[in-house]
Amino acid sequence: MIRWLLTTFLAIAILSGSWPWLRKLGIGRMPGDFTLKIGGREYPFPFMSTVVVSLVLSLLVRVL
């Protein structure tokens, strides 16, 4: 349980820190992704980007 919690925390920390770089690549700007702006802060929800990245990585693993 602790291992999964730590892994999830590290993944969120890495993705949050690299969000500006990922936006330059187009992650988070696809149809199906949306951003909430509340109180001067942006909260991204990249649903479609997550699906596309997951499919690409899945295909890459199957090929290799």
Q: Global pTM?
A: 0.64
Q: Identify whether the C-beta of residue 35 lies closer than 8 Å to the C-beta of residue 45.
A: yes
Amino acid at 21: W
* Residue 12 bridge partners (DSSP): none
> Per-residue pLDDT tens for 13-58?
887 788 888 888 888 888 988 889 999 988 888 888 888 888 998 9
Q: Identify whether the C-beta of residue 47 lies closer than 8 Å to the C-beta of residue 30.
A: no
Q: Where are the domains of the chain?
A: 2-63
